[in-house]
Chains A and B, each alone.
Chain A
Amino acid sequence: MSRFLAIFIALTFVVSASSGSPAAESTGNARTATPIKHLVILYGENVSFDHYFATYPKAANPPDEPVFHAAPGTPAVNGLVTSHLLRNNPNLSNTANGADAADPFRLDRTQANTADQNHAYTAEQQAYDGGKADLFPKYTGKGTTGGVGAFGSRGQVMGYYDGNTVTALWRYAQHFAMSDNAYTDVYGPSTPGALNVVAGQTNGMQAIATTKGPATLAAPSYFVNDGQGGLTMINDVDPAADVCSNKNDQVLMSGQNVGDLLNDAGVTWGGFMGGFDLSATNANGTTGCKRTTYSPIVASAVVDYIPHHNWFAYYSSTGNSTHARPASVSAIGHTLDADGTHDPANHEYDLNDFYAAVKAGNFPAVSYLKAPAYQDGHAGYSDPLDEQSAIVTLVNFLETRPEWKDTAIVLAWDDSDGWYDHAAAKATSPSFDAVDQLDGNAACGSGTALPGAGGKPVNGRCGPGTRVPFLVISPWAKTNAVSHTLISQASVVRFIEDNWLHGRRLGGGSFDASAGSIMAMFDFRSGGHAPVLVLDPRTGNPVAAR
């Protein structure tokens, strides 16, 4: 703990035990260890750090694209330029990659629509190849083709965008703070990433309905035997009982997530997802679980709500399996309604509800946000330009709110999609299941696996996994700063616990206890003055402040 944070905690009063009513639950008035009263986590999909920041802060600037020039004094990042890996990359020289062996190469803005890569638990470990990070084309470079206008090439997994495509993110990095050392807690795709950012734990899975056995190298699955008689989730599967879930494969997680702790403390919070409100009808007439939005960039109508991205639905304590609506806009974020009854939404809402609540002055303390799928950035059905539109719309909106002065937005991603990244973290959460392949057959790391939900060492949590982008946008963020502190998805949980919950931890083997701190991206001593940055959602270029 930094000396500074200790002072903040010392100044903070204990939050009184809450009845959970809107009056007693705190929004902007909760005692916090930092000046941050509102944390908004926009959780994106499937991007590695190098995929978006390989050449930061230098963009190619071809004609007729949004131009990016770095501000003087911009710090270097651990990308492909500083690591001298743009040429003679080991993914080109390692002959095991066969015909797909390739150096990294720039993806143009017109190539925003790409194929999806392989981002399974085992495939990603194989690509990292004991830390050499030299088998991406062979193991994760096996994607779908993408839509009819998509770009495909040999070794496409080696492609990266620059500030001419992910223009807004590069500009936010210039005005606020980011990390170049943020990892997923474990290897693998969306659902493990969703669980780790709210609970830091993927062990303790219960299969409610399943067509699968435990994963083997020959027969992939979404769980492994943890070695202690339980199960660990390693790949994607839908949450149990959600009306939109696949009926044949559904799971629940034991243990707690940060929502449970916030409920205990009477702090307002919510999970807000595009497409969650089943009663809404989109302009194209779609509704219910099949609500879709057409994206001209990927040239298809994409379903808005994807159950296996829904963090809180995997826990019976925080689920809302019928997608029940909140009693009112003023009930959003609260456990109880004004009359003292349990609000039907149980902290799970549509993304539209977030905008409505904030506009009504009811800005929850902690908000996890997911854009409708076409804007979540996941290659294959979304893309960086649609993603940019969702990010910029959110940031522009919050910057106009009176609460902006004590708000922080975290942009984080659930997994890397399998896109190439050169930085391999040494496994500090070892695992020795047959599907672990990072450091040899049935080996990820060395020593003993970390304790799982039951307190004993469990398999299936090989990590840290892949490096992903991580940005903090706030008046309290440092300006044009890059943090090199090792953090992970569970660092978000830790920040919430440190800020609102006096450093209380989830227990049950959660990564929150060991995750790095994101504090280095803030300046709480002399900060609070980072000016707003209003961007065009389409181009990512600045627009005149309104």
Chain B
Amino acid sequence: MRPDGGNPQPVRLVRPAVAPLSAMAQLGRFVFFDPALSSSGALSCASCHSPRHAYGPPGDLPVMAGGRALTRQGARAVPSLMYLERQPNFSIGPDDAESEAVPAPLPPGGAATAAKQAQNAAQSAQSLVPQGGLFWDGRVNTLQSQALGPLLNPLEMDGGSVGRVAQRLRRAPYAARFAQLFGAQIFERPDGMLAEALFAVARYQIEDPSFHPYSSKYDAWLEGKARFSPAEARGYALFRDPRGANCAACHLERPDANGLPPLFTDHQFEALGVPRNTALASNRNQRYFDLGICGPARTDMTHAAPYCGMFLTPTLRNVATRHAFFHNGVYRTLQQVLDFYDFRDTRSQRVYAHRKFDDLPAVYRANVDTVDAPFDRKAGQAPPLTARQERDIIAFLRTLTDGYRPPK
């Protein structure tokens, strides 16, 4: 850190190329903003992935409401659609895209949990860690497949069947664009039509710069075009301190070797043991547990015991604009989130109503990370962060919000 808060080693960031939207992406924009695809006629993709809220949820409810009468509660907090253009496929352990062999089956034993400190992220990528994919549980790999989820989910857009959605697309004011791109015969293939419509949405997300502008104050700081305030500078140091908050162990903050801006996630899964959110109707059922990789939304790994309770680490870009944190939306403010990291082990009664890790069945509580700082402390020990340090980290997190204008 330079004394004036500037970056002593400015870098050049390689941002995604910007070009006029293709015809495909323009079609995707129409689909993205079309509420007529939902049973209520009121919800579009953009209702929950609001462009004015970093493509995350507007308002401060833990989860969004959907269904025909907009009375049904979604199962999980709405993730942002930003910065997914480099999201890797779901895998366990190191993946090898060039291999033409059939991918190895999941290991029977389970994960070897490597301690995750900033300096050994590479080593951890070599061990058997679940990583990548989309949704909180990584259950699909492409933006196209992701878009199908909310569209058909009865708790969300509730679009009904593939045939039904295709019928709505045929009647849409932008229907002629399908024929232009795919030929008139596309209207006879409901499956194909929906696949193309959702690919178009994905293409909109890939092409439109608003999904990945990399225009935060932090990006400007990396490039030597902005200076941290003293609080931001202290927060940045704490964020990176392997013995302190250790945020950067999972929320990677450095540009990669290709000059691509940091995504503030290692794309890996973690079991953090966040508290149960009693505001969710589904949680009134004492036997209901959201186990992330092990379901219920994900159905192909329900018996992968070592991974039960693990959720995908999200980007922290634009995190200060959110009002629903973690998969169950249990927290509304960054202060609450930082308190969770601070007190989960040292003052757990401040975090949990009755018992620690109350949102996991007893058999899976051992999957919770108790190794990596700041989760390596015992009950009664000093919390890793002071109140001022929490405020400093939050000041730093605010530098991750897009739309920063460098001073003239």
- Residue A351 interfacial (CB < 8 Å): no
The stretch among A27-35, A101-109, A460-468, A493-501 that forms the contact with chain B is: A101-109
- Residue A301 interfacial (CB < 8 Å): yes
The stretch among A139-147, A326-334, A525-533 that forms the contact with chain B is: A139-147
Is B195 within 8 A of A149, CB to CB? Answer: no
A82 to chain B, nearest CB (A): 18
A148-B84, A149-B143 provided; 12 other pairs, C-beta below 8 A? A103-B189, A108-B182, A109-B22, A110-B203, A145-B142, A146-B141, A147-B142, A148-B143, A149-B142, A236-B100, A294-B258, A294-B260
Per the 8 Å Cβ criterion, residues 78-126 of A in contact with B are 87, 102-103, 105-106, 108-111, 116, 119
Query: Which size class do A's interface residues fall under?
Result: 35 or more
Contact flag A105-B192 (CB < 8 Å), given A303-B98, A381-B97 = yes
Is B23 within 8 A of A62, CB to CB? Answer: yes
Is B97 within 8 A of A380, CB to CB? Answer: yes
Query: Could you name 29 residue pairs across A and B whose Cβ atoms are closer than 8 Å?
Result: A62-B180, A65-B22, A87-B185, A102-B192, A106-B182, A106-B183, A108-B182, A109-B22, A110-B24, A110-B207, A144-B89, A144-B103, A146-B141, A147-B88, A147-B141, A148-B86, A152-B144, A153-B191, A153-B196, A154-B192, A283-B258, A284-B257, A284-B258, A300-B97, A301-B258, A302-B98, A306-B98, A308-B100, A373-B98
Is B183 within 8 A of A60, CB to CB? Answer: yes
- Residue B393 interfacial (CB < 8 Å): no
Is A148 within 8 A of B97, CB to CB? Answer: no
With a CB–CB cut-off of 8 A, which chain B residues contact A151? 142, 144, 195, 199, 202
- Residue B181 interfacial (CB < 8 Å): yes
Bound form: Cα–Cα A367–B191 in Å: 46
B208 to chain A, nearest CB (A): 12
Contact flag A145-B203 (CB < 8 Å), given A102-B192, A154-B195, A296-B16 = no
- Residue B145 interfacial (CB < 8 Å): yes
Contact residue among A102, A145, A286, A294 (Cβ-Cβ distance under 8 Å from B141): A145
What 0/1 pattern do residues 306 to 329 of A give for CB contact below 8 A with B?
101000000000000000000000
What 0/1 pattern do residues 184 to 212 of B give for CB contact below 8 A with A?
01000101100110010011011100000
- Residue A357 interfacial (CB < 8 Å): no
- Residue A339 interfacial (CB < 8 Å): no
Is B141 within 8 A of A64, CB to CB? Answer: no
Bound form: Cα–Cα A380–B89 in Å: 11
Contact residue among A116, A153, A283, A294 (Cβ-Cβ distance under 8 Å from B195): A153
What 0/1 pattern do residues 42 to 82 of B give for CB contact below 8 A with A?
00000000000000000000000000000000000000000
- Residue A63 interfacial (CB < 8 Å): yes
On B, residues with C-beta under 8 Å from A are 16-17, 20, 22-25, 84-89, 97-98, 100-103, 134, 140-145, 180-183, 185, 189, 191-192, 195-196, 199, 202-203, 205-207, 256-260
Is B89 within 8 A of A147, CB to CB? Answer: yes
On A, residues with C-beta under 8 Å from B are 60, 62-65, 87, 102-103, 105-106, 108-111, 116, 119, 144-154, 189-190, 220, 236, 283-286, 294, 296, 299-303, 306, 308, 373, 380-381
With a CB–CB cut-off of 8 A, which chain B residues contact A300? 86, 88, 97
B179 to chain A, nearest CB (A): 10
Contact flag A64-B22 (CB < 8 Å), given A236-B100, A380-B97 = yes
Is A148 within 8 A of B87, CB to CB? Answer: yes
Contact residue among B100, B181, B206, B258 (Cβ-Cβ distance under 8 Å from A149): B206
With a CB–CB cut-off of 8 A, which chain A residues contact B189? 102-103, 105
Is A148 within 8 A of B85, CB to CB? Answer: yes
A156 to chain B, nearest CB (A): 9
Q: Which residue of A lies closest to B200 (CB)?
A: A110
Q: Which residue of B lies closest to A100 (CB)?
A: B191
Bound form: Cα–Cα A79–B195 in Å: 25
Is B24 within 8 A of A108, CB to CB? Answer: yes
Q: Which residue of B lies closest to A380 (CB)?
A: B97
Bound form: Cα–Cα A306–B99 in Å: 9
Bound form: Cα–Cα A308–B181 in Å: 38
With a CB–CB cut-off of 8 A, which chain A residues contact B86? 148, 299-300
Bound form: Cα–Cα A296–B212 in Å: 13
Q: Which residue of A lies closest to B22 (CB)?
A: A110
Is A154 within 8 A of B191, CB to CB? Answer: yes
With a CB–CB cut-off of 8 A, which chain B residues contact A147? 88-89, 141-142
Bound form: Cα–Cα A285–B102 in Å: 30
Bound form: Cα–Cα A81–B221 in Å: 56
B134 to chain A, nearest CB (A): 7
With a CB–CB cut-off of 8 A, which chain B residues contact A296? 16-17
With a CB–CB cut-off of 8 A, which chain B residues contact A144? 89, 103
With a CB–CB cut-off of 8 A, which chain B residues contact A60? 181, 183
With a CB–CB cut-off of 8 A, which chain A residues contact B260? 294
Bound form: Cα–Cα A299–B206 in Å: 10
Is A146 within 8 A of B142, CB to CB? Answer: yes
Bound form: Cα–Cα A146–B98 in Å: 12
Q: A-B pairs with the 10 shortest C-beta distances?
A: A153-B195, A284-B257, A110-B24, A145-B141, A294-B258, A148-B87, A284-B258, A149-B206, A381-B97, A285-B257
With a CB–CB cut-off of 8 A, which chain B residues contact A308? 100
Q: Which residue of A lies closest to B259 (CB)?
A: A284
With a CB–CB cut-off of 8 A, which chain A residues contact B103? 144
With a CB–CB cut-off of 8 A, which chain B residues contact A152? 142, 144-145, 195, 199
Is A149 within 8 A of B203, CB to CB? Answer: yes
A173 to chain B, nearest CB (A): 23
Is B195 within 8 A of A148, CB to CB? Answer: no
With a CB–CB cut-off of 8 A, which chain B residues contact A116? 100
